[in-house]
Amino acid sequence: MAEFLFEIGLEEIPARMIAGAQAELERRVVAMLERERLVRAGVESRGFSTPRRLAVTVAGVAERQEDVAEELVGPSAKIAFKDGVATPAAVAFAKKAGVAVEDLKTVSTPKGEYLAATSVKAGRSAAEVIAAELPKELAGIYWAKNMYWRAGKPERFVRPVRWMVALLGSEVVPVEFAGKTAGKVTFGHRVLFGDGEIAVWAPGTYVEALEKAFVIVDVEARRHRIRKALDRATRSVDGLRWREDHGLVDKLTHLTEWASVEGSAGRDSVVLGGFEAAYMELPEEVLVTVMRDHQSYFAVEDKAGSLAPHFLAVLNMEADEAGLEVIRHGNARVLRARFNDARFFWEFDQRVPLVERVKLLESVTFQKDLGSYAAKSERVKKVAAALAGLVVLRGAAVDVVALDEAVVLAKTDLTSELVKEFTELQGVVGGLYARAQGFSAAAATAIYDQYLPKSMEDSVPRTVEGAVLAIADKADTIAGMFGLGLEPTGSKDPFALRRAANGIVKILAESAVALPLTLGEIAQAAAGHKEELVSRLEVFLAERLEFYLREVKGQAYDVVKAVLAAGANDVRDAVARAEAVTSVRGSDDFAAVSAAFKRMKNILSQAGEKGFAAGAVVDGALLTEASERSLAERSAELAGAVKGLREQGRYAAALEAIATLRPQVDAFFEAVMVMAPDAAVRGNRLALLERVLGDFSGIADFSEIVTAGL
């Protein structure tokens, strides 16, 4: 048994691809070793990476594959030997099995004596297998974007391969890939260590050997060091703390090979810099975007949580205080230039107020067949007005004047220099400009929030006006694209329509003030009189509701199906019903009633197939059995109570009430044969089942609930 180490050295890998590639390399190497019978299943392995390398170690690799013995059965003994002499049939079989003729055996089978042989497939050495198989695994690694670099273009990879290390124990495995042959030489940090070669003598010394060369190959260790270095640098000014940003920590972890630890001779790898307080006049959103998205700097806040005029830069370097001062100065200079740009754009944009930009939207294309953003704004205006009308009608407060202003101005920031420069701030900039230009807070906030939620983790618009604008905008986009036949297919969703529809569902489910709007009404408002389009949109939105219930709310598959079968139009209601079903589904009574309802549904569908008609109403006079009378009576009593509870939204209580029907349901199926020979009796019993299902399926179609084990 030996430990195996493989490292592939590359020119800087894009940060966004490293984590996935590290995991894939580890998975592929382990799977290959398992497939080749060189490790047992579930063997211990570790993955490593920096911007310039991917690596994996696997413990307990066998030195060779075990020989595999296989029993082969050949021709019948009668044919194989004539007078004790081997015939050509025996010779051919021996050759095929790879054994001498003398080593052939016979076995008894029901058909008589047959020739047999134990064929042994010799195992290959681990080094031989790895050298043969690993290059294929490397070539198979997925890269979002890869490149050619060698003449004749023999292979594509994310970036040029510079070196490889492959060690099985202390022995080099000469893996060949991309014109390189693996050895035991790796390289350290370009600047902190320099160009010198580093020999790795055994897999166990890999991490340590590189740490001495200023490379921390363990990603989590590097991440931890970076976080600590951020803490240290922030502490140098009293009362400051850095704004947590997991995405940025992750990015910088994959942009660096080294990070300092405390007390490394006063050297450190994060600098805290400052910027002039005058820039604080710019909106915080702009400052933070410049720092985070454009410079990869962390924002810093004071004790009260307000943005402080500081930034933190994470280096792929370490230096003493004098050295850090040089780097701080350089970074501060760049940030100043960026802020100057932003201020220039901000001031420049104020020369043309948003109102005057409305006209400019005519020359900004939304989509070539759907026209300009001016046309889109006109459509969104109608959709928003229709939705706001419904909301008001149902008693919720909407500032329609503010909503109207917000819709008209919503897209005007697309013509601003600031948004052209910082596209991720679309909407936000419009909201800030609207506020600066004297529009009401309601209008400004609605504009600001119009693109929310950007993901399922994001928050929803804070106000009713913002929510209506966001829904109308998204619904118009979806309706427009569907109208052009550009709906998403399979994994392809180039216009992010699923995300838009997910956003609509999330807003309806999570807005601070409930919006009394159904998915059907939204589809209707966006697609107008085009009935076929309306129904396609309804189906699409219902799918996204299903996604929301399952992926965001974590509801079980069958619960979601049951709930949506009883209605998929009212998002908040569907969420409440799903939660209620989940809360009661564990009880025996509920499971039994669900099973019974499924049986009822099956009976009704069988009756339908056989052409047996159900009575129009349940006729008391035809209820002959005691148990069917008691089901009819009890269910009729319960129906009223359940209806009342449902109307109050007390779904869990309603479901508990339905579950109390279990004794009557059980007794009914115990004693009554629904498919009675007498047509009138049968029809009446079918009518009873229909009534029970109808009365109690308003919250969920229980027949969809999986009740295995009962």
Partner 1 sequence: MVLDKKKALTFQELLFTLQRFWADRGCVLQQPYDVEVGAGTMSPDTFLRVLGPKPVRIAYAQPSRRPADGRYGENPNRLFRHTQLQVILKPPPERVQEMYLESLVAIGIDLKEHDIKFEEDNWEWPVGGAWGVGWQVMLDGLEITQFTYFQQCGGMDLDPICGEITYGLERIAGFLQDVDSIYDIVWAVEPDTGRKVTYGEMRLAEEEQFSAYSFDYADVGRLWEHLNSYEAECLGLLEKAKGFEGMETLELKRFPVLGAYELALKCSHMFNLLDARGAISVTERVGVMARIRMLVVGVAKAYAAQGQMLNEVAKEGVAV
Interaction between residue 14 and partner 1 (CB under 8 A): yes
Crossing angle of helices 662-671/626-647, nearest 10°?
Answer: 150
Residue choice 76, 372, 582, 660 for contact with partner 1 (CB under 8 A): 372
Interaction between residue 193 and partner 1 (CB under 8 A): no
Q: Which two tokens stand for residue 22?
A: 């590290």
Measured from the CB atom, the residue of 122 and 278 that comes closer to partner 1 is 278
Residue choice 130, 335, 527, 595 for contact with partner 1 (CB under 8 A): 335
- Residue whose structure tokens are 């974590």: 554
Q: Which two tokens stand for residue 231?
A: 């803490």
Measured from the CB atom, the residue of 9 and 466 that comes closer to partner 1 is 9
Interaction between residue 323 and partner 1 (CB under 8 A): yes
Residue choice 319, 501, 571, 591 for contact with partner 1 (CB under 8 A): 319
Interaction between residue 325 and partner 1 (CB under 8 A): yes
Residue choice 119, 149, 285, 514 for contact with partner 1 (CB under 8 A): 149
Interaction between residue 49 and partner 1 (CB under 8 A): no
Residue choice 9, 51, 169, 683 for contact with partner 1 (CB under 8 A): 51
CB of 374 to partner 1, least distance (A): 11
CB of 334 to partner 1, least distance (A): 4
**168: enclosing H helix or E strand:** strand 161-168
Q: Segment near partner 1 (CB under 8 A), from 7-15, 112-120, 613-621, 654-662? A: 7-15
**Angle at 546 (CA atoms; ends 540, 552), nearest 5 degrees:** 125
Neighbours of 199 (CB within 10 A): 11
- How far apart (Å, rounded) are the C-alpha atoms in residues 114 and 72? 10
CB of 242 to partner 1, least distance (A): 17
CB of 14 to partner 1, least distance (A): 3
CB of 276 to partner 1, least distance (A): 12
Nearest to 433 by CA among 421, 423, 420, 443: 443
CB of 464 to partner 1, least distance (A): 33
- How far apart (Å, rounded) are the C-alpha atoms in residues 325 and 477? 50
Interaction between residue 275 and partner 1 (CB under 8 A): no
Q: Segment near partner 1 (CB under 8 A), from 104-112, 153-161, 422-430, 466-474? A: 153-161
Measured from the CB atom, the residue of 122 and 191 that comes closer to partner 1 is 191
- How far apart (Å, rounded) are the C-alpha atoms in residues 635 and 271? 73
CB of 370 to partner 1, least distance (A): 12
Interaction between residue 190 and partner 1 (CB under 8 A): yes
CB of 193 to partner 1, least distance (A): 11
Q: Tell me the one-letter amino acid at 251.
A: K
Measured from the CB atom, the residue of 317 and 699 that comes closer to partner 1 is 317
Residue choice 31, 91, 139, 337 for contact with partner 1 (CB under 8 A): 337
Q: Are 202 and 170 in contact (CB under 8 A)?
A: yes
**Angle at 8 (CA atoms; ends 61, 211), nearest 5 degrees:** 85
Measured from the CB atom, the residue of 259 and 672 that comes closer to partner 1 is 259
Crossing angle of helices 557-565/571-584, nearest 10°?
Answer: 130
- How far apart (Å, rounded) are the C-alpha atoms in residues 534 and 478? 11
Evaluate the omega torsion of the peptide bond into residue 283 and state whether it is cis, within 30 degrees of 0. Answer: no
Half-sphere exposure of 130 (CA within 13 A, CB side): 28
Query: Helical H runs in 531-625?
Result: 531-547, 557-565, 571-584, 588-610
- How far apart (Å, rounded) are the C-alpha atoms in residues 525 and 530? 10
Measured from the CB atom, the residue of 319 and 642 that comes closer to partner 1 is 319
Query: Helical H runs in 56-205?
Result: 77-80, 88-97, 126-140
Residue choice 31, 120, 122, 147 for contact with partner 1 (CB under 8 A): 147
Interaction between residue 148 and partner 1 (CB under 8 A): yes
Measured from the CB atom, the residue of 72 and 375 that comes closer to partner 1 is 375
Interaction between residue 316 and partner 1 (CB under 8 A): yes
Residue 260 Cα distances to 12, 322, 404, 511, angstroms: 21, 16, 55, 45
Q: Are 273 and 313 in contact (CB under 8 A)?
A: yes
Q: Which residues bind partner 1 (CB under 8 A)?
A: 11-12, 14-16, 51, 145-153, 159-160, 162, 190-191, 195, 255-256, 295, 297, 313, 315-317, 319, 322-323, 325-327, 329-331, 333-337, 340-341, 344, 363-365, 368, 372
